[in-house]
């Protein structure tokens, strides 16, 4: 059962335009507090910074700083794939930006490519794949769960991606990819419990020398997938992408110096005590600024393994 969402010509992929009625904007409060809001004149957004009227947003460019009646402010950002990944509804486990960027790069996806994805899920990767193949390419994404597919379809329409994505309800593990795609696909991405069952079908769809990627959370899945890949693929490699974020802060340290000759007196005392400086010398305090870095306490750990393989070119 294939369903293609009608293209809305009013929705543009470019954000170099004013915000309009019905647009989705990312309301940015701080780096760890964002939400997706659909602009609707007459509606209001209320948060700890005050009340924000949607009618005040219409006509402003994406990236604008808007103020509430209390003087608080938020930023209205465009729903880019990077930001959408941070605010979307999690219907399934999702891929985050480190994995997504690695996948798009290693699958060699460029504008104009045709890509197959099995395991639409929450649509996090789908959104980035669609942007990568735009404006002339296309993503065909499949999910066996009809409700998930319907929710993802609504998200794609909300973000103006309906001309780039076809959502299909299909069990790829059991049925394989549709025959219409055989020999015409530039890249395949699999996010399945048993990806090895879909590899024969994927190999028939890929163009010669094209790349397949399989995402699996468990190493046992990776082992069996690699065994199946060896029959038709080469350059088989598995990666785990881990990113470590740092907090960068500036700290102020006080230092006591002699006013007479400017020489350091030493570190500030830990407790109050009587000064031992000679009577002809006075003491003053200077501030030194130093940049300090430390790993964030909330670093994201293991998400899954990414296995890449290139379809073998058969010689005549």
DSSP 18-68: B--TT-EEEEEEETTEEEEEE--TT-EEEETTEEEEGGGTTTPBTTEEEE-
* pLDDT score of 261: 54
Binding-site annotation: residue ranges for S-adenosyl-L-methionine: 122-125, 143, 171, 191
Binding-site annotation: residue ranges: 122-125, 143, 171, 191
Instruction: Indicate the Cα dihedral angle 197, 200, 202, 204, nearest 10°.
Output: -160
* pLDDT score of 297: 74
Q: The dihedral of CA 204, 205, 206, 211: what is its sign?
A: negative
Contact 14, 61 (CB under 8 A): no
* pLDDT score of 3: 34
* pLDDT score of 301: 67
Helix extents (H) in 70-185: 81-87, 97-106, 124-133, 146-158, 172-175
* pLDDT score of 43: 92
Distance CA 105, CA 244 (A): 20
The token duo for 252 is 């102020």
The token duo for 150 is 């319907």
Task: For residue 239, list its beta bridge partners.
Answer: 306
pLDDT tens for the 316 residues of the chain, in order: 333 333 343 344 567 788 999 899 999 998 888 999 999 988 999 888 899 999 999 999 999 999 988 889 999 999 988 899 988 888 888 898 999 999 999 999 999 999 999 999 999 999 999 999 999 999 999 999 999 999 999 999 988 899 999 999 999 999 999 999 999 999 999 999 999 999 999 999 999 999 999 999 999 999 999 999 999 999 999 999 988 888 888 877 666 555 555 555 555 555 555 555 555 555 555 667 788 888 877 666 678 999 999 999 776 5
Contact 55, 42 (CB under 8 A): yes
* pLDDT score of 17: 84
pTM of the model: 0.78
Radius of gyration of the chain (CA): 27
CA distances from 95 to 25, 78, 88, 190 (A): 22, 20, 12, 12
Contact 257, 286 (CB under 8 A): yes
């Amino acid at each position: 059962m294939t369903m293609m969402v009608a293209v809305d010509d009013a929705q543009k992929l470019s954000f170099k335009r004013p915000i309009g009625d019905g647009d989705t904007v990312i309301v940015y409060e701080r780096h760890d507090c964002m939400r997706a809001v659909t602009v609707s004149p007459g509606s209001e957004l209320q948060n700890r910074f005050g009340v924000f009227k949607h009618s005040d947003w219409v006509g402003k460019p994406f990236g604008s700083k808007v103020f509430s009646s209390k003087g608080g402010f938020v930023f209205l950002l465009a729903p880019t794939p990077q930001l959408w990944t941070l605010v979307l509804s999690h219907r399934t486990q999702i891929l985050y930006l480190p994995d997504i960027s690695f996948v798009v790069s290693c699958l060699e996806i460029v504008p104009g490519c045709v890509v197959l994805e099995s395991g639409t899920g929450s649509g996090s990767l789908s959104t980035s794949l669609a942007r990568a193949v735009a404006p002339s390419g296309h993503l065909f994404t499949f999910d066996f769960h009809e409700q998930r597919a319907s929710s993802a379809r609504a998200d794609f329409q909300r973000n103006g991606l309906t001309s780039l994505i076809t959502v299909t309800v299909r069990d790829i593990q059991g049925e394989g990819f549709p025959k219409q795609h055989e020999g015409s696909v530039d890249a395949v991405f699999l996010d399945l419990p048993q990806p090895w069952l879909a590899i024969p079908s994927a190999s028939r769809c890929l163009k010669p020398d094209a790349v397949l990627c399989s995402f699996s959370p468990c190493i046992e899945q990776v082992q069996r997938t690699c065994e199946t890949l060896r029959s038709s693929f080469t350059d088989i490699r598995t990666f785990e992408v881990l990113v470590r974020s740092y907090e960068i802060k500036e700290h102020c340290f006080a230092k006591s110096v002699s006013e007479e000759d400017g020489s350091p007196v030493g570190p500030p005392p830990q407790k109050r005590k009587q000064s031992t400086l000679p009577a002809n010398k006075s003491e003053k305090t200077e501030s030194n600024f130093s940049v300090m870095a430390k790993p964030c306490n909330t670093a994201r750990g293991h998400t899954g393994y990414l296995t890449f393989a290139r379809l073998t070119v058969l010689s005549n």
